[in-house]
Chains A and B, each alone.
Chain A
Amino acid sequence: MKTTVRSLKEKTKTINTTGSLAVIDALLSEKADTIFGYPGGAIMPIYDALYDFKDKLNHILVRHEQGAIHAAQGYARVSGKTGVVFATSGPGATNLVTGLADAMIDSTPLVCITGQVFAHLLGTDAFQETDIINITTPITKWNYQVTDAKEIPEAIAKAFFIAKSGRPGPVLIDITKNAQLQLFDYIGYRPCIHVRSYRAKPNVRIAYIEKAAVIINQAKKPFVIFGQGVLLGNAEKEFQAFIEKAGLPAAWTIMGMSAIPTDHPLGVGMLGMHGNYGPNYLTNECDVLIAVGMRFDDRVTGRLDKYAKQSQIIHMDIDPAEIDKNIQTTVPVWGDCKETLPLLTHLLDKKIHREWFNEFEIKREKETTVVIQKELHPTEGGLTMGEVINILNELTGGDAVIVTDVGQHQMVTCRYAKQNKTRSNITSGGLGTMGYALPAAIGAKFGAPERQVIAIMGDGGAQMNIQELGTIMQFQPNVKILILNNSFLGMVRQWQELFHEKRYSFTDIQSPNFVQVAKGYKIDGRQVSKREDLRESLKQMLDHPSAFLLEVAVIHEDNVFPMVMQGKGVAEIILSKEEI
């Protein structure tokens, strides 16, 4: 156990080392710098090895394993690196499940290392034994159980490779305690660059790119919709060049937000159930729909048989399984958009679709009149979520990382937040995991320490992983916590109001005094409910030298509009409840 990794590397010949030390060496070789984790019986040997590397590996002790994995997600999403998680067997491992499912559906690269009972105890219902491999099979990109230390270097190398390559995703490596303790001949770490049965990305087929270019060049009303693929492929510049050359109006999914600045002249807003009016409505009027790195989620498409039926569809995606999954494409452009976009851009004619773009402007004006104006600039009544975000935009200038939870505040924030920089929007998109924001913001701050990180959450979500205030207390990440408190589980309440005759079944959630709770964790905070105090309190939060919790009391029964109701087509989007 005294052997250091440095000395290991100096010698080329094999060296007797423990499985645990091989785990640490693998992480160092992969240039991991931060681990989010929680120790326990079955992972103690690895934690023991970690003890000697505290200066190289920053271990963040969370308060719940779910917090660890969401923090790793925030870290990965903001930095583009692979998040690393440690958890013990049994309950430690099962507490990762929600985060794994979230990372799987949102394609976040993670390597989770769980301890497991001794190999000879597997299947005996041993203390804290759980079959985590079978539990996590549908929610991991790959998982593997290691029972022999000799497998550790290869398994972790493969894990990092699979997690990050192609369409990213979470990987879980379950290591039995005997393997962690086992001494073996270690020949050093070799990164994995190839797995023979795994193709990270499909080959680019030039014929399809040429075909797509012809269609786009002929289009009168082309429309680009893009998702997280642009961010994951680090293809922001390529994407911007693509839309700018051909003058293509572009709308983002919630996961694609911030790939281009939100005020980009060709950016026409957000898609989806609570997205902007224009992009939703005009999806059914364009003649060519170009989908880039997005997967036609049902929250984006609404009713499928009423989705863009008039249009030719070009789908660019790295994952062949996404092509034709929900929407039949005219031209599939398989491949990494970092490679395919420049090839396509090269073949496009320079154009400006002024008239077509104007249609988005007209729709924008209508949305502004009916919805946006009173949401962002109310003059009377209670505080709206929109005006909070609006003032926040003015104060941050759009440079902050915005981490949202799930619900009304999430939709409002993503609709109105100004974001200038890439990887600024961290949210649980596909899974809709309440309790995501606080731990993800902690992780985001460690992933991008130079950036202002603001966690925005509702009063429901705030209570779902509130224990992570303890992590902030101990490790002092300077995260800003903004709770938009409407004393309801707002989104569910909105649906109850609109579709269940206002039968508010268990959505009237009570909250503790959040400021007092924060104070208990030695975190400063403030509560605000008056319009005249709002700007100054937000400024206080942002300027505070350390973490700060600001609770804003907003209107109790406010609704998020526009809305594409369940079972309706995107063009049936409504701007107010009177239209239902």
Chain B
Amino acid sequence: MKQEYTLTIYTENQVGLINKIAIMFSRRKISLESLNTSPSEIEKIYRFTIVVKETETVVKNLVRQIEKIVDVFKVYCNTNDEIIWQQMALYKVPTAIIMKEVKVERLLREYGAKAVVIQEDYTVFEATGQDEEVNNLLQELDKFGLIEFVRSSRIAIIKSSEGIHKKVLDMEKNDPTKQPINNEFLNHKSVIFEM
């Protein structure tokens, strides 16, 4: 049965890595529901959050193949109940209409949205939540002359994970070239060719 899986991938910060990861999916004709990439809490280590709708067998295989990429540290794969996840959305609506409509204010309170910019001709609201909340607000604001809308990709925190810090340290322990020093390596400057 296909369902949503959130993959959390920790990688070296290297040019072209997004392609190396993306082709793992495109080769199997799997489309990405969402993709986010950003620096992690550790300097020079990046975190990808990818959402796919697939069967367990396919995702399991994918995870192992992605982990095989030389510059990938670790891949976590979680179902929605194993993660805390959010996405952000921006809504642009005509200021004139919302000034008149009392309802809008109530809506915004209901959805925890806030105004980011208020201009004479338009106002931009921001809301954070899961698909349902973002979509509901979208439907509501559509009634008030929504001009533009954008949503971010999903970001997720894994409920059970100990984080990557310890894992990377463990990996460093296998490094026969030097004694692991707590956290110090993380500030090492030439990470790509760290040997």
Contacts of A325 on B, CB cut-off 8 Å? 61, 64
Query: Do A134 and B70 have beta carbons less than 8 Å apart?
Result: no
A197 contacts the other chain (CB 8 A): yes
Check if A197 sits within 8 Å of B73, measured CB to CB.
yes
**Chain A contacts for B138, CB-based, 8 A:** none
Q: Is A198 an interface position by the 8 A CB rule?
A: yes
Q: Is A133 an interface position by the 8 A CB rule? A: yes
Once the chains are docked, how many angstroms separate the CA of A155 from the CA of B177?
17
Judge if A377 is at the interface, Cβ distance under 8 Å: no
**Contact (Cβ within 8 A) B70 A195:** yes
> How far is the CB of A285 from the nearest CB of chain B, in Å?
27
Cβ contacts under 8 Å, A155 to chain B: 193
**A-side contacts of B172, CB under 8 Å:** 196
B: number of interface residues (CB 8 Å): 28
| CB atoms of B60 and A324 under 8 A apart | yes
How far does the alpha carbon of A133 sit from the alpha carbon of B67 in the complex, in Å?
20
- A-B CB pair tally, cutoff 8 Å: 65
B16, B27, B72: the one contacting A197 at CB < 8 Å is: B72
Which B residues are CB-close (under 8 A) to A141? 70
Most buried by B among A133, A155, A194: A194
Which residues of chain A have C-beta atoms less than 8 A from B61's C-beta? 321, 324-325
Interface size grouping (class) on chain A: 20 to 34
Docked pose: A133 CA to B23 CA in angstroms? 13
How far in angstroms is the closest Cβ of chain A from B170?
A: 10
Partner of B171, one of A134, A154, A196: A196
Q: Does B6 contact A (CB under 8 A)?
A: no
Q: Please indicate which of the listed interface residues A154, A155, A158, A197 has the most CB atoms of chain B within 10 Å of its own CB.
A: A197
Q: Is the CB of A194 within 8 A of B174?
A: yes
> Looking at the complex, which one of B23, B73, B195 makes contact with A192 (CB distance below 8 Å)?
B195
Q: Nearest B residue to A324 by beta-carbon distance?
A: B60
Contact for A137 among B19, B73, B175, CB less than 8 A: B19
Do B19 and A134 touch (CB < 8 A)?
yes
Q: Which residues from chain A sit less than 8 Å from chain B, CB to CB?
A: 133-134, 137-138, 141-142, 145, 151, 154-155, 157-158, 162, 190, 192-199, 319-321, 323-325
Residues of B contacting A323 with CB < 8 Å? 64
Per the 8 Å Cβ criterion, residues 50-89 of B in contact with A are: 60-61, 64-65, 67-68, 70-73
Q: B12-50, CB under 8 A of A: which get 1 and which 0?
A: 100110011001000100000000000000000000000
Please report the C-alpha to C-alpha distance between residue A197 and residue B70 in the assembled complex, in whole angstroms.
Answer: 6
Output the least CB separation between A140 and chain B (Å): 10
Cβ contact within 8 Å between B70 and A154: no
B121 within 8 A of A: no
Residue of B27, B65, B68, B177 contacting most chain A CB atoms (<10 Å): B68
Across-interface contacts of B16 in A (CB, < 8 A): 133-134, 137, 145
With CB as the reference atom, state the residue of chain A lying closest to B22.
Answer: A137
- Could you say which residues of chain A place their CB within 8 Å of the CB of B23? 137-138
Q: In the bound complex, do residue B27 and residue A138 qualify as a contact, i.e. CB atoms below 8 Å apart?
A: yes
With A194-B195, A195-B195 given, name 17 new contacts (CB 8 A).
A133-B16, A137-B19, A138-B23, A138-B27, A142-B70, A190-B195, A193-B176, A193-B195, A194-B176, A195-B70, A197-B71, A197-B72, A320-B64, A320-B67, A321-B68, A324-B60, A325-B61
